[in-house]
């Protein structure tokens, strides 16, 4: 498994987003050792993103959850060090609490996106966490996607870290989920049943000439174009790197559980897309603070019960990987102290300053403070 994290570049003191991605990436390249450029297997990267106020980190693939956590923190440190040379700081926030005017990255693809999608591109400055989990074949990948559909909203609730937008509390724990839904290809997918059906739908969508390319098929979970993986795309970037590791551990266990169900001939839960959209919306609105929708019945239940339902569902896979204790403890911690959205709102309530919200996020991003709500 591997993780991609989108991170905001912010100004010390004001907390406003800074359009310095190209400078930060140039500095990171200058800081890299010659060995980093050698012809070796993928070891991670810093990359540009849609807007110049953000960059993306990508870890190497890992089998061990603790090693993945070390890599997540190492890439955050690399981004922090490179940003410092340009007078910027790094904040793992799903959206900017401070009012912002997004500045698109200057390349042909992003310019075409801006022209075709207009205000959707112009207003889109969101940061997510994408988890890649390896699979054996495209058939297995699609079978996994069919079977993890009902469980993905829980990852939204656990990772929710974007309550503010343009200086206001949005009333959502994950406003990023709402903003991303403006793209025409975002959201839950239907049950495909086979890799052929998946590929047929992709071909049909591309034939509409609505989107630029297949990289813009932003399904909640998709077959990766770049790696032999399933890519889970629903999570906000997590404020606390420990929460990133938790999301990755849950994601791998979900994929393993689904693959085992497919191998055993167990059919995918026939949850309609309309119900999945409601589950996503509720997780985005409530985070862990209210009811979530039961993944299989669609009925509202307390968030902690639904989260524990996921934990029970994937427990055999967690045990097989040696992750049961670590993931269980991390999940109980988040249920007890809250997610990134809870932390942001707590800081706002205590200080009345969105600049303080960003400053606190900078410290947690760097591992200088633990995440969660201060008690």
Please report where in the chains the tokens 């420990």 appear, as a residue: 242
**Residue burial 101-113, b: 16+ Cβ < 10 Å; e: rest:** ebbbbeeeebeeb
Q: Determine the Cα angle at 93 with ends 87 and 95, to 5°.
A: 105
Q: Give a yes or no: residue 373 inside a domain.
A: no
Distances (CA, A) of 116 to 181, 211, 328, 361: 16, 9, 44, 34
Q: Which two tokens stand for residue 83?
A: 């940003």
Q: Give a yes or no: residue 375 inside a domain.
A: no
Q: Give a yes or no: residue 101 inside a domain.
A: yes
Q: What is the pLDDT of residue 301?
A: 98
Rounded Cα gap, residues 284 and 135, in angstroms: 28
The answer, yes or no, to whether residue 103 has pLDDT greater than 70, is: yes
Q: Give a yes or no: residue 284 inside a domain.
A: yes
Terminal Cα-to-Cα distance of the chain (whole angstroms):
34
Residue 332 burial by CB count (10 A; 0-12/13-18/19+): exposed, middle or buried? middle
Q: What is the pLDDT of residue 45?
A: 85
Rounded Cα gap, residues 34 and 347, in angstroms: 42
Report the CATH number that the domain containing residue 89 is assigned in CATH. Answer: 3.30.590.20
What percent of the chain stands above pLDDT 90? 87
Q: What is the pLDDT of residue 198?
A: 97
| Range of the structural domain that residue 254 is part of | 2-365
Give the chain's domain count.
1
Q: What is the β-pairing status of strands 89-91 and 44-48?
A: unpaired
Nearest alpha-carbon partner for 248 in 134, 161, 344? 134
Q: Which two tokens stand for residue 226?
A: 């770049």
The answer, yes or no, to whether residue 40 has pLDDT greater than 60, is: no
Q: What is the mean pLDDT of residues 216-245?
A: 96
Please report where in the chains the tokens 């049961």 appear, as a residue: 324
Alpha-helix residue ranges (DSSP H) falling in 187-240: 195-207
Q: Give a yes or no: residue 374 inside a domain.
A: no
Report residue 16 CA to chain centroid gap: 22
Query: What tens digit of pLDDT does each residue of 15-37 get?
Result: 999 999 999 999 998 888 655 54
Tell me the sheet residues that pair with 221: 232
Rounded Cα gap, residues 64 and 258, in angstroms: 20
Is residue 321 a contact partner of residue 260, using CB atoms and an 8 Å limit? no
Query: What tens digit of pLDDT does each residue of 350-370 get?
Result: 999 999 999 999 999 998 877
Average pLDDT across the chain, whole number: 94
Q: Give a yes or no: residue 306 inside a domain.
A: yes
Query: What tens digit of pLDDT does each residue of 77-97 get?
Result: 999 999 999 899 999 999 999
Q: Give a yes or no: residue 60 inside a domain.
A: yes
> What φ, ψ does residue 244 adopt, rounded to 5°?
-60, -45
Is residue 174 a contact partner of residue 284, using CB atoms and an 8 Å limit? yes
Q: Give a yes or no: residue 370 inside a domain.
A: no
Q: What is the pLDDT of residue 38?
A: 46
Query: What tens digit of pLDDT does each residue of 250-298 get?
Result: 999 999 999 999 999 999 999 999 999 999 999 999 999 999 999 999 9
């Amino acid at each position: 498994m591997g993780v991609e994290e989108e991170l905001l570049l912010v100004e010390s003191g004001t907390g406003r987003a800074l359009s310095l991605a190209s400078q930060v990436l140039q500095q990171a390249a200058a800081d890299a050792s010659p060995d980093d450029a050698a012809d070796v297997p993928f070891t991670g990267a810093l990359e540009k993103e849609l807007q110049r106020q953000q960059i993306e980190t990508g870890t190497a693939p890992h089998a061990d959850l603790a090693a993945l956590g070390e890599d997540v923190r190492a890439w955050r440190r690399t981004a922090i060090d490179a940003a410092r040379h340009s007078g910027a700081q790094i904040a793992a926030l799903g959206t900017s609490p401070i009012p912002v005017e997004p500045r698109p990255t200057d390349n042909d693809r992003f310019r075409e996106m801006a022209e075709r999608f207009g205000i959707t591109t112009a207003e889109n400055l969101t940061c997510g966490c994408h988890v890649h989990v390896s699979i054996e074949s495209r058939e297995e990948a699609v079978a996994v996607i069919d079977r993890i559909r009902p469980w993905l909203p829980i990852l939204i609730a656990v990772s929710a870290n974007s309550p503010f937008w343009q200086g206001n509390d949005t009333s959502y724990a994950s406003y990023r989920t709402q903003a991303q839904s403006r793209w025409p290809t975002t959201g839950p997918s239907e049950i495909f049943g086979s890799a052929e059906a998946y590929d047929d739908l992709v071909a049909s969508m591309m034939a509409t000439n609505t989107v630029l390319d297949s990289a813009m098929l932003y399904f909640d979970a998709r077959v990766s174009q770049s790696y032999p993986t399933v890519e889970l795309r629903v999570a906000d970037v997590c404020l606390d790197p420990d929460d990133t590791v938790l999301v990755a551990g849950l994601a791998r266990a979900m994929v393993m559980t689904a693959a085992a169900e497919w191998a055993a001939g167990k059919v995918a839960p026939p949850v309609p897309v309309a119900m999945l959209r409601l589950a996503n919306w509720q997780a985005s609105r409530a985070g862990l603070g209210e009811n979530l929708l039961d993944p299989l019945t669609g009925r509202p239940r307390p968030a902690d019960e639904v989260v524990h339902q996921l934990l029970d569902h994937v427990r055999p896979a967690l045990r097989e990987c040696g992750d049961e204790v670590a993931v269980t403890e991390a999940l109980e911690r988040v249920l007890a102290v809250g997610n990134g959205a809870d932390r942001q709102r707590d800081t706002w309530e205590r200080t009345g300053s969105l600049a303080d919200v960003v400053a606190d996020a900078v410290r947690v991003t760097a591992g200088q403070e633990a995440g969660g709500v201060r008690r």
